[in-house]
Chain A
Amino acid sequence: NAGVMQNPRHLVRRRGQEARLRCSPMKGHSHVYWYRQLPEEGLKFMVYLQKENIIDESGMPKERFSAEFPKEGPSILRIQQVVRGDSAAYFCASSRDTGAGTEAFFGQGTRLTVV
């Protein structure tokens, strides 16, 4: 049973380009969380999704950022017109459900560098 898979592991984009980050949850997991982590800082919640639904996007910037989790395929975090401040590690986590006692497993992260 493969863990949470994120790709790419490293992504370099020029200012103004688009960045697409992919997250394939563990088998049987239908809940996905995205977090952003700046160097030497904590995990900042961005968005929580279930299959085909955005449940909570209160941590997402209002502009340029979007997320989806289609019925088939990985969850995608999309950042349009990237700026230097978007440089960070982006982690996704998946869980089987949100019932009591359900742990979330993290992917290895995508390190985005905007030059």
Chain B
Amino acid sequence: QQPVQSPQAVILREGEDAVINCSSSKALYSVHWYRQKHGEAPVFLMILLKGGEQKGHDKISASFNEKKQQSSLYLTASQLSYSGTYFCGTGVNNNDMRFGAGTRLTVKP
């Protein structure tokens, strides 16, 4: 079952914040976040495991609400380099990973 991401697209000015959401209709084992630049491969950002933990590095962090079967990615004080399409990948069990349709983030100067 493919997770649902929202919003589909967001446009920011440098320095603004953004939140990207990912939800599933099934109980989740893990959530993965990736960023893909145009014409390139998706690049791993972070993994979150069930237990409601929050992770982050630099100004990008994420939370995982196991009960709500949701994860959110937080981008703080966005930079031009943050532009790209963000995908969440959800693991329902140990065996597979399905991706959402992606959220296209554009950061303008």
User: Beta-carbon contacts of A92-110 to B below 8 Å, as 1s and 0s?
Assistant: 0100001111111111110
In chain A, what residue has the closest Cβ to B46? A103
User: Beta-carbon contacts of A72-115 to B below 8 Å, as 1s and 0s?
Assistant: 00000000000000000001010000111111111111000000
Contacts of A98 in B (CB 8 A): 91, 94-95
Interface residue count on the A side (C-beta < 8 Å): 24
**Interchain CB contact under 8 A, B41 and A91:** yes
Interface residue count on the B side (C-beta < 8 Å): 25
Contacts of B98 in A (CB 8 A): 45
**Interchain CB contact under 8 A, A56 and B96:** yes
In chain A, what residue has the closest Cβ to B94? A98
Closest-CB distance, A7 to chain B (whole angstroms)? 14
Closest-CB distance, B39 to chain A (whole angstroms)? 9
- Please judge, given known A-B contacts A42-B87, A45-B99, A104-B32, whether A99 and B44 are in contact too, CB under 8 Å: no
* CA–CA, A105 and B45, complex, Å: 10
Closest-CB distance, B108 to chain A (whole angstroms)? 19
Contacts of B34 in A (CB 8 A): 106
Closest-CB distance, A69 to chain B (whole angstroms)? 14
**Interchain CB contact under 8 A, A107 and B41:** yes
**B19 interface hit (Cβ, 8 Å):** no
One of B47, B85, B87, B95 near A101 (C-beta < 8 A): B47
**B49 interface hit (Cβ, 8 Å):** yes
Contacts of A102 in B (CB 8 A): 47
One of B30, B49, B91, B100 near A42 (C-beta < 8 A): B100
Binding site for A on B (CB under 8 A): 2, 29-30, 32, 34, 40-44, 47, 49, 85, 87, 89, 91, 94-102
Binding site for B on A (CB under 8 A): 33, 35, 41-45, 48, 55-56, 91, 93, 98-109
